[in-house]
Structure 1
């Protein structure tokens, strides 16, 4: 899918994150059930899928034919980042056919000593046509990623970095400020649990909205119900 067609498909749409990590009930070693989640998302009208790992990128793309935002979560000793942090992961996602590759674009010190701007430019030099999405946690990080040549900026990590921990619920303020400050699409992501929250993100200027746990993680959903029930039972 060319960039213009992709942009049209994403605008104003719902991107469903279909992921299962080791230790979670829906994770299957050596296999995946995420294409089934993606099929349900497509039937509901999702415009794209965000997923983790080469196998899920390939199988979901084959199963639903929707644009794929691909990531690879991998821990590296000495790194705070774990979302698509080296060229090895980028190479794998390009080969797998990810339409957009998302990577940690926070300003935390990287284990290889490079700045995130350096890394973005390296990827763009090697893969000039590859679309990239910055997973960030602050306005400063979003602006920096935009100036470094990123194609989309997502609020994925708001509340998950040491300097943003404690933020509860969707970061409406960050989405609104980013939409005003940069001229690439802002993808709202993170702690969007209810339909009205997703709609509000679009009203504030988000180009599209990613929802994951509220749709595709039944354990997380059930825990939210149990928490509320427990509060009443006390």
Structure 2
């Protein structure tokens, strides 16, 4: 099972930069997209409906903002795109595809970088989504939560960690929330199971951040423990730049 997660920072922009040509060569079973920044009526071109995949889009009410998508080679048994609370529902931040014994989630957590109000909304989101994770895990299903988490967990996960300790994305309480997801919730950062190196998935468009690899690891596969023995490989693709994030692929010895 190959699962790709990618924040496209505008799926139409990524499409113009060759994202879908790259994707066609990846033989992914599930593709999780965040930040589509488009409405479905703007995505009628076949480019945005990859051949051989069931296509799911979840749009924000606000045009040109947020939004998630999922492309599934095997049609899911069930799809969920709302949990009954905002901003998750109104901003199109969640898609879950359920199969027989496993669920795959594409999720886009809010950023708090624009100010105190944005950070407060992010904190509310974190408080509300955590019990949902526990509920899904308690059902006994395996889970792969693919997301732009908008949080770096450890110092190794961003280049300039000392200078960012008071900035959204590396605040102590955000990092403690991820600690809770892993330690109390029992979830696992799949990438860190097989790679302990400083690897980044997002680079600011300011200055020469990408050229100098001054990045942040914001895009994770978070999985249930039962999937840990199945983890085979991980890859962050940086040969081409489709977005300010890089596509992140993981392979599992597991069949949908």
TM-score bracket for the superposition, by shorter chain length? 0.3 to 0.5
Greater share of strand: 2
| TM, length-normalised to structure 1 | 0.39
| TM, length-normalised to structure 2 | 0.36
Greater share of helix: 1
Relative CO higher for 1 or 2, CA cutoff 8 Å, sep ≥ 6? 2
